[in-house]
Amino acid sequence: MNIQNLYQLYSISSGIEINSKKVKKGSIFIALKGKNFDGNQFADEAISNGAILAIVDNKRSVFSKKKIVSVENTLHFLHELAMYHRYKLHHIPIIVITGSNGKTTTKELTVAILSKKYKKVHYTKNNFNNHIGIPLTILSMPLDTQISVMEIGANHEKEIEKMCSIINPDYGYITNFGKAHLEGFKSIEGIIRSKLELYDFLKKNKKVVFINGDDPIQLSNSTEMNRYIFSGIKKKKSDINVQYLWKKNSIKSYLSIQNIEIVSSLIGDYNLYNIASAISIGTYFKISLKKIKEAVEEYVPNNYRSQILTKNNVKIIIDCYNANPTSMIEALTFFNKIQGKKIVILGDMLELGLFSHNEHEKIISFIKKSNIHIAFLIGNIFFNTQETSYKIKKFMEKEFFVEWIKKYSIQKTDYILIKGSRRIALESIIDLI
C-alpha cells in the first residue's frame, strides 16, 4: 500500500495511536520502537482493541491478526503520513515556537490570545514537541482548523531542521538561546546554531519571523528576513513597543502597550518576554489590545510552570516542570529581588553532560551571595558539589529530603521557590510543606 492509500484509510479512521492499550475503536496503530520497548509486539493487541489497521516494521515478528501492514520504518512512516496531512491542509497557517526556555508558556499565551479571534485554534498538547509528538500533533489537526500553534523541542542539532520539514510552518519565533541540553548540543554555539535552523527554513521559504528586538542574536540573524519586531526600547525601530514595568513587592508581571497596562499572573521578570512575544503575535493577527489584555489577564499557569500557591500564609512559587542553568539563574535572580524571608528547594539540572558539575557549582555560588535565607538542594549532582554554606543543606535523593521534612518541617518563611528538572518531580513535596 502506498502513502495515498494509507492516508485514505487514516482520513476515515478515528485517529493515530502508538499505545496499544489506548487504542480507540476505528483508529490506526503505529508500532514504534524505543530503547526498552518494541511496538511490533503489540500489533495483535491493538487490532483486538479496535484498531482498523496496525503499521509494523519488524519482518521477523509473526502476527495472528489480519489488517496488519508492514513498512520499512514505522517512525519514518509516521513522519511521511504527517507531511502528507500537512500538504493536504497547506492553507492552514502554522506558527512554530522554539527556544531554550519559555516555549510552552509562550505557546499557551499565544493560543489564549488567538482564541479571542479564531474559534478553531489547534496547538501542541502536553509535551508533544519532539520527533514523535510533532507528527502526532499534525495528524490531530482537524480539517476545519483556522490557525495552529506548534512547539518544537530539541536536544541536538538538525532536529529543528527536520521538524520544520514536517510542519512546514508559516511563522516562527525563538524565545531565547539558553544553556539547555548542553549534553547534546556540546556548547552554547551549538544551541544557537540549532535554534537558528528555524530561521533558515523561514528565510528559504519566504515566511514571517517574530523577533525580540532586545535580543542581539535574533536581530543580527534575521536582517534579510520578513520580520515583525517587538521591543522594550523606545529608540529601537520596531513594529510594536512594549514597556516592562517593575512593581516593588509584587510577584506578578506588568507590561504596558500604547498606554494599556496588562497584568499577568505569570511570575518573574524572565516571563516578560514570553508575554510580550505572545502579545506581538496577537497584534500581527489584528487582535485588539482590549482582547489581548483579556486573554493575558485570564491566563493562569498550570503544569508546575510559574504557578503560585498560598499555603499557611506562605507564597509558594512552583516552577518545577523543568530546569537548566539559564532558567535556574533567572528564577533565582528574580526571587532574590523579592523582599521577605525566602527559602529555595532546588533539584538537579539534567542533560548537561561535561558542563554539569560546573553549572551546579555556579548555582550554589549565587545562593551564597544572595539574600535567600535557606536552600535545600536535592539530587546526586548537587550533593557532590564542593561549594557549601551555612544556609545550604544537601540531599542525595528526594526521599532523604522527604524523611527530613517530615521530621523537622520547614521553618516559618514568607516565600518558597521550588525548581528542578522534570525527572526530579519536585511537585511531589508540595503537600509536605
CATH number at residue 17: 3.40.1390.10
394 is in an annotated binding site: no
pLDDT in tens, 43-77: 999 999 999 999 999 877 667 778 899 999 999 99
Cα–Cα distances (Å) from 124 to 138, 139, 155, 263, 280, in that order, read: 9, 11, 18, 25, 20
Structure confidence at residue 252 (pLDDT): 85
Structure confidence at residue 62 (pLDDT): 67
153 is in an annotated binding site: no
**100-128 core/surface letters (b: 16 or more CB in 10 A; e: else):** bbbbbbbbbbbbbbbbbbbeebbbbeeeb
Clarify whether residues 120 and 24 are in a common domain.
Answer: no
| Residue 418 resides in a domain | yes
Clarify whether residues 102 and 203 are in a common domain.
Answer: yes
Q: How far apart are CA 383 and CA 380, in angstroms?
A: 5
Clarify whether residues 124 and 190 are in a common domain.
Answer: yes
100 is in an annotated binding site: yes
Q: What is the DSSP letter of 90?
A: T
| Residue 149 resides in a domain | yes
Pick the last residue of a domain from 239, 268, 298. 298
Structure confidence at residue 35 (pLDDT): 83
Host domain of residue 213: 89-298
Residue 347, pLDDT above cutoff 90: yes
Clarify whether residues 191 and 101 are in a common domain.
Answer: yes
| Residue 78 resides in a domain | no
Clarify whether residues 176 and 146 are in a common domain.
Answer: yes
Residue 305's nearest CA partner among 126, 171, 131, 169 is 126
99 is in an annotated binding site: yes
User: What is the reported pTM?
Assistant: 0.92
| Residue 81 resides in a domain | no
In terms of Cβ atoms closer than 10 Å to its own Cβ (0-12, 13-18, 19+), residue 369 is exposed
105 is in an annotated binding site: yes
Which residues on neighbouring strands pair with residue 25, listed in sequence order? none
pLDDT in tens, 143-162: 999 999 999 999 889 999 99
Pick the last residue of a domain from 239, 271, 298. 298
Residue 263, pLDDT above cutoff 90: yes
Clarify whether residues 107 and 213 are in a common domain.
Answer: yes
Q: What is the mean pLDDT of the chain?
A: 93
Clarify whether residues 285 and 363 are in a common domain.
Answer: no
| Residue 84 resides in a domain | no
Structure confidence at residue 418 (pLDDT): 96
| Residue 77 resides in a domain | no
Clarify whether residues 151 and 290 are in a common domain.
Answer: yes
Pick the last residue of a domain from 22, 39, 72. 72
Q: 54 or 387, which is more confident?
A: 54
Structure confidence at residue 344 (pLDDT): 97
Structure confidence at residue 104 (pLDDT): 93
Query: For the chain, how many structural domains are there in total?
Result: 3
| Residue 354 resides in a domain | yes
pLDDT in tens, 175-225: 999 888 888 888 999 999 999 999 999 999 999 999 999 999 999 999 999
Clarify whether residues 250 and 383 are in a common domain.
Answer: no
CATH number for the domain including 334?
Answer: 3.90.190.20
Clarify whether residues 96 and 223 are in a common domain.
Answer: yes
104 is in an annotated binding site: yes
Reported in sequence order, the residue ranges of 249-306 that DSSP labels E, i.e. its strands, are 253-257, 260-264
At 237, the amino acid letter reads K
Q: 389 or 382, which is more confident?
A: 382
Clarify whether residues 281 and 373 are in a common domain.
Answer: no
| Residue 66 resides in a domain | yes
Clarify whether residues 312 and 294 are in a common domain.
Answer: no
